[in-house]
Structure 1
Amino acid sequence: MTTKRNTEAYPYASGGWGSLKAVTRILTQEHVALKDGRVLAKQNKPDGFMCVSCSWAKPAEPHLFEFCESGAKATAWDTTSKRVTPDFFELHTVAQLSTWHDHDLEAAGRLTAPLRYDPATDRYVKVSWQDAFDEIGRELNSMRPESVVFYTSGRASLETSYMYQLFARMYGTNNLPDSSNMCHESTSVGLKKAIGAGVGTITLDDFEKTDLMFFFGQNVGTNSPRMLHQLQDARKRGVPIITFNPLREPGLIRFANPQSPRQMLTPNDTLISTQYHQVKNGGDSAAILGICKAVIAADDLAREQGRERIIDVPFIEQHTQGYDAFARYARDAAWSDIETVSGLPRDALEAAASEYMKANAVMIHYGMGLTQHRLGVQNVRMLCNLLFLRGNIGKPGAGPSPVRGHSNVQGQRTVGVTEKPELAPLDKLASQFSFEPPRETGMNTVEAFEAMIAGKVSAVFNLGGNLVRSVPDRARIEPAWRKLRLTVTVATKLNRSQLVHGEIAYILPCLSRIEIDRQASGEQAVSMEDSTGCMHGSRGMVEPAGEEVRSEPFIVAGMAKATLGERSSVDWDAWKDDYSIVREEIARTYPEIFHDFNARMWTPGGFLRPLPARERKWQTESGKAEFMVPETLGEDPDMPEREPGALRLMTLRSDSQFNTTIYHHDDRFRGVKGNRMTLLMNASDMAAHGLAEGDIVTLQTIADDGVDRRVTGFSVKTYEIPPGCIAGYYPECNPLLPLWHCAKESKVPGAKSIPVRIVETGRQRETA
């Protein structure tokens, strides 16, 4: 007999005692001995280790505790005392483990030895490192390089990422998809076209100089909570913050600083958003256009009346191209269309525009709520249009601020992990290492899985992450994955990607960044890039999880040496023994960014990568910043027309989750306890479908491709979300997302706007 879950609303500010309680719970849950706080005290510090979760900036003068609730959970998860030894697999077959929940798989503990799948017993069994490398090398050398995929999670260091991409290219492929393909590739494509660089332009210093901040589709309270310190300081200076998000998220409403005795011991907290606009799923371009339309209308009136212009005419004339076409589009756009698609009234958008027109320096923060759409690249370009109108780029306190997820997802692209050969310094690598790199465009993540379904992929390497669980269209992809000849996963913990395996499958356990990395030349350090383009060193603090656990550079070097043999000019043994040698080579490949790398990697606050757009130098086709005219304001131009009762689903993370890693089944901010199979739904939509709180429903994707995509067992919960929109958790909702339903140009899966229908309902009984 089922029971109705507790789904009480969370009435408090983010942070505060709720955050401290959550941290205490996970430290106890993982049996973590953190040596009187020494480890957490070093997290995100210039002489410590960089957090293994989010990539938010690390200040030169850190707070006493420079970690957040999410970061503490990630540290506890990695430094758990629980272990998954080879004996564990003697007790559990892969078939048995496949029935476990994702949380329970990772909660089993840290992997301690290299393992190979044994089909005779349906178990993973221990192997030696060298035997693993040798067989992997033999298999790779029997395959066509274009049939092999080298996937990278954002947790790999700069050193590992550089080695990995070099290994793949020396092997003969540019198939280097990564987690950027799943989230911020729309940023990389959109910003590149608009300003000539695929990364944001702001730094932490800009927070002290800004007059206004926008948030679009980024939940700072769970995705990058340390950023709340900068937001709190800005609000104390009277800086307005305007938020556009379908859900009202506590972290974007109020914040109680756990490091402030006053806020912890009194009812005081900080109001974060001064305006909060609940845009419809898929309505972002329309909302941004509404703000732009109001600004251009105000400028037209000022010009007619001979008053000071509203737009920055000198900036637009000197630094941009395409303003007139965009302005015509904005003037011609009907407010009724903007209101319908955005779900917001005209006066709300004009209120946001009014604040924008008063501010001299404006930054716009955004996340996957903007990028994971069919029109994700357009969304990013529209943000740039808004910034260009008043010259809000290339000056202090202003610019685009894409908030990245994984801790080095931006950095791995900086050192060459990309499927796009034009973004990698192939000529430089060729001369530096005496080989001819492949010049063909490789496969991104979506393309790799399209090829896998078509039977054109032989092997997949997972350098971190849980790729099988994170991808769309799981019902089509998992059977194709099982047909692969070889799957190799480099990981700290057990996850679904190791259970859905190829004919030959290896699990290679790696060190966490938090652990001491001892090599032949001594203890090693690694480095990574944060969201603001600053490079940081990171030094492990705790003992490794086991004697046979190896570092990521060691593993990449071992595979490369066994595969490439005499074909490679690299001394892979020297590289794995001394990472400073790898950094010297990175500096040779990218001298403008990484000159004097070893000397600068411990710079407090990191050293900043040069970015011409910060100086109003535009590396675009025209040599100027590029306005763009949107293709359409529609939510999704390529899906079937909406049908009566159709809903638009967005996927989201909980406060007890980092990507596919689930620390706990609760989501305290949204009032969900013990049930991740929950749909957040507007009360009017529930009434229209005849649903009551806690009823069980089945969702089916609305698509005309002949594939029946449905997920059963969702419990509905009344929530403040725009009518016609619903929200459910990732990765549970991934089977509803068609693989082809991805952003134009960037191919980021369109997880934030999936048309669905309710096809089955049922009452959930309550216990007496």
Structure 2
Amino acid sequence: MPDDLPTPKRYDGPVGGWGSLEGITRVELNAKASPSAMLTLRDQNKPGGYMCSSCAWTKPEDPHAFEFCENGAKATLWDLTRDRCTPDVITRHTVSELRGMGDYALEKLGRLTEPMRYNAATDRYEAVPWDQAFAQIGAKLRELDPKSTTFYASGKAALEPSYLYALFARAYGHNNLPDSSNMCHETTSVGLKKVIGSPVGTCQMDDFDHVDVIFYMGQNPGTNSPRILHTLKSAVQRGCKIIVFNPLKEKGLREFVDPQNPVQMTVGAPTRIDHMYCQVRPGGDLAALMGVCKRVIERDREAREAGLPDVLDRDFLERHTTGFDAFIATLEATDWADLERASGLSRAEMEVAGEYYAEAENVMGIYGMGLTQHVHGSQSIGMLVNLLLLRGNIGRKGAGCSPIRGHSNVQGQRTVGITEKTELAPVEKYRELFDLETPQEDGHNTVAFLEGVLDGSNKGFIGLGGNLANAVPDHERVHEAWREMELTVHVATRLNTTHCLPGKSSWILPCLVRAEEDEQVSGNQWVSIEDSFSHIYGSRAYRTPASPHLKSETAIVCGLAKATLGDSHPKLTWDEWQADYSRIRDCIAATYPDEFHDMNARMNKAGGFYRGNAARERIWKTDSGKAEFTDPTTLNACGIGDAAGRYHLVTLRSNDQFNTTVYGHEDRLRGLSGSRMIVLMRPEDIREAGLREGERVDLVTDTDGDHADEPERRVRSLKVVPYDLPADTLAGYFPELNPLVPLWYHEELSQTPASKGIPVRIAKA
């Protein structure tokens, strides 16, 4: 990794425009993408084409000429590299040597081409035939107690392999099915469901044609989901006001140039996205939203006293909500000074945001992990819903709650059965369709899995994609224990750090990427995915696979299941499902008939098909049968409060990054390049701490209470970089700073790592 950090400079360009094209070109050259990759980009996210493996933003019925963003193009180009990580390339290095290379260098070796098994005697991976790999993995799984194994899924696998993966796990004998949602958006699944009865957002694409004000919380579209910027630009040009709450002033929320607009690309001015930018402290969204609610209630009281129409939608409140009076009492008892301290905003800022809300007919709340990845993130979601409920802004056109998913199918995987919770699994349908009796107890999520790794109770791991060991908290403890597992199996496209932590028996099974042709007995196969708006789309690709030895994720799941289960379940027809994926979709439709009926016929229509959302229809599947106001137990969502010398650290992705995949060392939109081992810090805080720009420091986790005596967690030798941040706030890159996140420091309901507000102190390097 380069260590030559230039002095950061302000990036004066907008998101999109020529900078975006330059970023795509640079990654294309770095990836050495095949010439045919451009044909894939032409059809990306269009009906009949390939659905992007990057973010889960919607695929429109009437697409643009180019329906991909900078991030999606980078993901596709990276997948379609001409570099090959053959067995000859891998065996040049011991696994110990590979482990020291880092993820960027490992991925630069190229696409994996053949299945491999770890040889502990030589500390190297060696090529093996597929049938031998399946047979030996299946034999090892039969030796293990099923409940001591974990089947993890990253967010990229399509609905077909995801459905079969969940079925395989339960037929094998466990519900241990964590996925990347546990690491990112599980707080939405738990917190949003608690208050409105839906685990997913309520908005649809056409709502953006009618929304008047958007509250945009803790999400950076410029890096993580640039295609949404076209939609935001259109809304702004129509007159919509976007009120942003975020600790960093991200370029993607300031101004945008549409790369598909020749006038704007040449002589036109950028479109300003934000109407108001509120730079909250980490975890401060909770108090900020409470302050907005407080002003709306004051406005309603003033209107009633003046004989003017109510600001609140009292009919909606009476018919559709519960807990309103208790929430109002809490608001009235909360002092503005406390809200200012907890949020990092002034009373005036919160009041102005409240004015915009009160005067708007239709309001939408959009949020990302900056809102949710805190110890009390579910309470932040509850407060956003409180605000929306005040004027009936859920369940009608132009309004609603819209979490932005960062993985292409992580929402869809949950929809078709990848869950550790038995209440969410289609247990009765498994019995009806397959004569399958499934385990009755809940499985474990990612945190419980890692606890099992640490105490030795988790013996086996299968990873359907991803780089979990490098994405999790507490790297040092977890990585040391990871290699003690009896079995580790990785379905993968490239090498990464997790593969370099082999268990006692370890395998890498190389798979196709979604952009490659998936040829089975019945021909080139369609797969399907779900977007953030609960639409289901078909996806089919035509690129030649990187190796003739690659198998699809579906074929690998079927091969593992057959080798493990044998003929013990006659109605689990793995060979038939592998031969023709439409038969898998028939099973999905039979398992979820209300949402997926006629799936094969509907998924390829332009815009996909909508599987519905009860809360959008104002049907509240909550305990009370109504949308629920909630009272916060704290004013800041961070789990550990302020103290002398304590900062709260926000972890980030760079502009050249997708999750743990790093395409390069440019963070163009923040004006940064070079080493990722940096810590961003407010200039005033640098001076007050007696530090200098460019000085090296260590960050140390700063815990208290029951955890004050834990072993030290430290990341060493980070360069101090001045940046516009709130007071006592630091920022740095994920996953480099993950060692600072204790495993126990997670959201209270979902157990999602609280990576957007890590308590740390600065130590001299």
Fold match (TM-score > 0.5): yes
- Cα deviation for residue 305 of structure 1 reads 3.1
Q: Tell me the CA shift for residue 454 of structure 1.
A: 1.1
Contact 1:666-1:676 within 8 A present in 2 as well: no
> Is 2:613 aligned against 1:619?
no
Paired amino acid for 1:550: K
Q: Distance in 2 between matches of 1:35 and 1:152?
A: 29
Distance in structure 2 (CA, Å) of the matches to 1:635 and 1:204: 30
> Equivalents in 1 of 2:133, 2:106: separation in Å?
23
**1:363 offset after TM fit, Å?**
0.8
| Residues 37-186 of structure 1 mapped to structure 2, 5 A cutoff | 37-186=38-187
Please give the secondary structure, in 2, of the residue aligned with 1:567. coil
Q: 1:738 pairs with 715, 739, 742, which one?
A: 742
Q: Secondary structure at the match of 1:380?
A: helix
Q: Which residue of the partner structure matches residue 513 of structure 2?
A: 512
2:424 is the alignment partner of 1:420: no
Conservation of the 8 A alpha-carbon contact between 1:592 and 1:610:
no
Q: Deviations along 1:700-751, whole A, 9 cap, x unmatched?
A: 0012141210000111111010010010000000000000000001100000
Could you say what secondary structure the match of 2:23 adopts?
helix
- Whether 2:368 is the aligned partner of 1:364: answer no
Q: 1:143 Cα deviation (Å)? A: 1.1
Count of residue pairs the alignment pairs up? 759
Alignment partner, residue 467 of structure 1: 468
SS at match of 2:721: strand
SS at match of 2:632: coil
SS at match of 2:567: helix
- CA 1:346–1:532: 2 relative to 1, 3 Å: same
TM-fit CA distance, 1:2: 7.3
SS of alignment partner, residue 447 of structure 1: helix
SS where residue 573 of structure 1 aligns?
helix
What's 1:33 paired with?
A: 34
Any idea what the Cα deviations from partners look like across 1:213-239, whole Å, max 9, x if unmatched? 111000011111000000110111011
**Separation of aligned partners in 1, 2:42 and 2:5:** 41
Instruction: Give the structure 2 partner of residue 657 of structure 1.
Output: 657
1:764 aligned partner: none
Q: 1:36 and 1:688, CA in 2 relative to 1: closer, same or farther beyond 3 A?
A: closer
Alpha-carbon offset, residue 306 of structure 1 = 2.7
Q: Which residue does the alignment assign to 1:766? A: none
Residue of structure 2 in register with 1:693 after alignment: 693
TM-score normalised to structure 1 length: 0.98
State the distance in 2 between where 1:71 and 1:529 align.
16
Secondary structure of the 2:135 match is helix
2:279 match: 278
Q: How do residues 225-374 of structure 1 correspond to structure 2 at under 5 angstroms? A: 225-266=226-267, 268-374=269-375
Aligned residue identity for 1:756: V
Cross-structure match for 2:702: 702
Contact 2:102 2:497 in 1 (8 A): no
Partner residue, 2:395: 394
d(CA) in 2 for partners of 1:323, 1:282: 24
Query: Which residue identity does 1:624 align to in structure 2?
Result: K
Write the distance in 2 (CA, Å) between the matches of 1:689 and 1:109. 44
Deviation at residue 567 of structure 1 after TM alignment: 1.6
Q: Does 1:537 align with 2:538?
A: yes
700-709 or 59-68, larger mean C-alpha shift: 700-709
Deviation track 1:175-226 (CA, whole Å, cap 9, x = no partner) reads: 0000000111110011111111100011111111111111100001111100
Which whole-Å CA distance do the structure 2 matches of 1:103 and 1:397 have between them? 42
Letter of the structure 2 residue corresponding to residue 257 of structure 1: D
Query: Aligned to 1:44, what secondary structure does the other structure show?
Result: coil
CA contact (8 A) 2:303 2:311 kept: yes
Cα displacement (A) at 1:512:
0.3
> How far apart in 2 are the matches of 1:331 and 1:36?
58
Per-residue CA deviation, residues 529-567 of structure 1 (Å, 9 max, x unaligned), is 001100000001200010100000000000001111122
Contact 1:246 1:279 in 2 (8 A): yes
Partner residue in 2 for 1:684: 684
Q: Distance in 1 between matches of 2:164 and 2:4?
A: 52
Does the Cα contact within 8 Å between 2:4 and 2:675 map onto a contact in 1?
Answer: no
| Preserved contact between residue 666 and residue 675 of structure 1 (Cα < 8 Å) | no
Maintained 8 Å contact 2:3/2:675: no
Partner Cα separation in structure 1 for residue 259 and residue 189 of structure 2: 35
Q: Secondary structure at the match of 1:462?
A: strand
Instruction: Note if contact 2:380-2:637 (Cα within 8 Å) is conserved in structure 1.
Output: no
Secondary structure in 1 matching 2:561: helix
What is the deviation of 1:303? 2.4
CA deviations over 1:590-622 (Å, ceiling 9, x no partner): 001110000011011110011111111111111
- Please name the residue that 2:643 is paired with: 643
Partners of 2:525 and 2:238 in 1: CA distance: 42
| Aligned residue in 1 for 2:754 | 750
Identity over aligned residues, as a percent? 52
Deviation at 1:3, TM superposition (A): 5.2
- Letter aligned with residue 109 of structure 1: G
Q: CA deviation at 1:330?
A: 0.8
Match of 1:24 in 2: 25
Q: Displacement, 1:101?
A: 2.2
Q: Deviations over 1:743-768 (max 9, x none)?
A: 0011000000011001114xxxxxxx
The answer (yes or no) to whether the contact 2:37–2:80 under 8 Å persists in 1 is no
Distance 1:662 1:89 in 2: 20
Tell me, in whole angstroms, the C-alpha distance in 2 between the residues paired with 1:570 and 1:36: 37
1:719 has 2:723 as partner: yes
Aligned twin of 1:765: none
User: Contact 1:322–1:626 at 8 Å: present in 2 too?
Assistant: yes
Q: Which amino acid aligns with 2:736?
A: E
Provide Cα deviations, 1:673-711, integer angstroms capped at 9, x if missing partner: 111111110011100111111111000001214121000
Indicate which of 564, 587, 590 corresponds to 2:589.
587
Counterpart Cα distance in 1 of 2:432 and 2:566: 19
- Name the SS of the counterpart of 1:37 in structure 2: helix
For the residue of structure 2 that corresponds to 1:353, the secondary structure is helix
> TM-score when scaled to structure 2?
0.98
Give the drift of 1:6.
3.3
* AA aligned opposite 1:575: W
Whole-angstrom CA distance in 2 between matches of 1:635 and 1:227: 27
> Are 1:573 and 2:588 matched, yes or no?
no
Shift of 1:5: 2.2
Contact 2:487 2:505 in 1 (8 A): yes
Q: CA RMSD in A?
A: 1.2
Consecutive unaligned residues in structure 1, runs of 5 or more? 762-768
Alpha-carbon distance in structure 2 between the residues aligned to 1:734 and 1:467: 12
CA distance in 2, matches of 1:33, 1:80: 6
- 5+ residue gaps, structure 2, are none
Name the CA distance, whole Å, in 1 between partners of 2:604 and 2:159: 14
